[in-house]
Structure 1
């Protein structure tokens, strides 16, 4: 593969202006947020590999009957180390938004978590932890220990316009058919295969649904290889920068309400890896602009690609169920994930509740070289609206 035209990136916008106030952003860094790609780094289809090889390519049958390959049960010693660090953090009275490796020290777990981080970013891309004692610890201490664990895998980025760096996947009774306004994680509707706006996503199960709400994941690199053989026309369509993604009103002053990009693109530089950035809800919700002639409607080829991609993901997915105290971490670079619809228990039983983390892994710390201006930023990606500071609520709001 020929090298990219240039590997240089423009100066980050926040480096062109004054520094971020530490009283609002404890580490002095703000989530960079959503933005269009650098279009001169978007490569044509003939520059893409014919086939992807390596540990990021896997089939569900490799793992379905071998849970030891993708699950890790916390040992009593590891739980004790997490508990001690969480208690020390709570005693310090530091806000959750200020948690970091420096004030959440895990001397024994640190090496294991660094190995895990590499496997998430460059390997199979997922893990399921079991045995996190959420019922014993309660939501506050569980959130501290969970976020403390997350500091060893990446940097917290905001997940919505409210600045949530600790998110909550919970049905709040919002109308899932209003896809131009409503984020699906705040409903009980099915989530189709997608990737979140971060390098790594974490989900900690606090409470399960009465039925449904189960997880499916797939190697997008295996999906790519399948499409390259069976539907190269679909794959070509996915690599073209003709896709518009909705921002559902979560925009800073002066920003567009949508982003034009491709679904499948390459890292910058020579022999760049294939990255998939996709969420059908954000593509289907733009009719308010296409009906007004502001952006083009989905073409027949795009509609076909949308359906073929979902069907191929379903065909090659690995199913898993998150029990209370389970933590799932996924890489968004080469894993797509989905969720079945669900039904909650009747009150007063708790509703299904997952605590969510979005974590960034900048390229100078081993992250992928993405065709975006913020690829070198610690808090790349996420959703940032103006100067909304980070917040870490202990429940959905």
Structure 2
């Protein structure tokens, strides 16, 4: 039998994310990183709704033949406004990590972007922009325009132990079978349905693959309703704080190598919504600890829940293909996403390349009220190792 898990094994709750360090972080705000929940704020299965209603629940059939409902083509005026703002920002000499709404002004687009933010957080949870001229602008100007858009949706959080606030989804030759060490976005392997460690994720397509690498998304609330009707035992298993998530070595001093939490949360306060945190790669990679008897191995109920969750997402998914210049923004609170495996073009053609943003929306600024100590922190979530400074490289490292 595995030994009882203690708070010592889980490690400290925070890495002083609320301290201000202007010398390291341009705005003085540090990403909080991967935390354990406040266990006394977790909801039991009996308190969860039997059915979720509202705009966060959607059927792929409602969208797959109606792309106008979830795509927005940048107009000539919008492209010109973004171009001018990017040129002014570049001329200022400011580092990409220092970009803000004030330094990337979009007066004509700002109202639309605010409505988009609300739609992502509280509506269907996704939108696909089309037509950013990335081939004309090149990586630097495209990154400025893309991150500039992101400032209207949330706060940049670090995506890995290197402090990347501009990430790059690209096959760099990492071994996808080494899931305890390798982040799958650095390989060409399939990604199963998951949610990232942030409130909103953005993907800008710089270059497409030869084949594969296509995107699927699903409303986790539609998935939840389906499971409640068909296999409520799966929902109950997913709602229990018995799931261990790997930090994959991206650990601050004093932190444990993993967190322990449920997959399904209920927001704190009255009328709390159901929030989903899931990534099977971060669950299955912990066999090095379960094999050693440090944490329990996945039970039969957990293995079933993981399998049924993936199968249900696949059944209910909306499929989309990102073309060069497309930007996909998704809520991680109530949308799960995946991608197919892919094969790159042979050199000298470029490899598949997506620029990625992880954005935080604290509860005091319209974000979800989560049972975590950092729920009100501007840069909640993400991956932060000690005081690693934010970085925004223009290509994969």
Q: Same fold (TM over 0.5)?
A: yes
Deviations 1:177-197 (A, max 9, x none): 000000000000000000000
Tell me, yes or no, if structure 1 residue 92 matches structure 2 residue 86.
Answer: no
Work out the CA distance in 2 between the residues paired with 1:70 and 1:265: 27
Residue 14 of structure 1: how far off its partner (Å) = 3.7
**Equivalents in 2 of 1:220, 1:21: separation in Å?**
37
Aligned to 1:251: 251
1:171 is aligned to 2:171: yes
Provide the C-alpha distance between the structure 2 equivalents of 1:222 and 1:25, rounded to a whole number of angstroms. Answer: 39
Which residue in the other structure is 2:133 paired with?
A: 133
- Give me the whole-angstrom Cα distance separating, in 2, the residues matched to 1:339 and 1:209: 12
Q: How many residues align?
A: 385
* Contact 2:20-2:30 within 8 A present in 1 as well: yes
Q: Distance in 1 between matches of 2:363 and 2:234?
A: 29
Question: d(CA) in 1 for partners of 2:184 and 2:14?
Answer: 31
Superposition TM-score, scaled by structure 1 size: 0.96
Q: State the alpha-carbon separation in 1 of the partners of residues 35 and 14 from structure 2.
A: 12
Residues 38-49 of structure 1 correspond to what in structure 2 (within 5 A)? Answer: 38-49=38-49
1:102 match: secondary structure: coil
Alignment match, 2:28: 28
1:66 aligns with 2:62: no
Instruction: Give matches, 1:1-397, under 5 Å.
Output: 14=16, 19-397=19-397
- Runs (4 or more) in structure 1 with deviation over 4 Å come to none
8 A Cα contact 2:362 2:379, kept in partner: yes
Q: Deviations over 1:87-125 (max 9, x none)?
A: 000000000000000110000000000000000000000
| Deviation, structure 1 residue 15 | 7.5
CA RMSD after TM alignment: 1.1
The unaligned stretches of length 5 or more in structure 1 are 1-10
SS in 1 for 2:305: helix
Q: Secondary structure of the equivalent of 1:396?
A: coil
The alpha carbon displacement at 1:20 in A equals: 2.7
Q: For structure 2, which runs of at least 5 residues remain unmatched after alignment?
A: 1-12
Rounded Cα–Cα distance in structure 1 between residues aligned with 2:65 and 2:78: 26
Cα displacement (A) at 1:24? 1.4
Determine the C-alpha separation between the residues in 1 that align with 2:53 and 2:16.
38
- CA displacement at 1:270 relative to structure 2: 1.3
Aligned partners of 1:215, 1:303: CA distance in 2, in Å? 25
Matched-pair contact (CA < 8 Å) for 2:234–2:301: yes
> 1:12: how far off?
8.1
Instruction: Tell me, in whole angstroms, the C-alpha distance in 1 between the residues paired with 2:396 and 2:14.
Output: 32
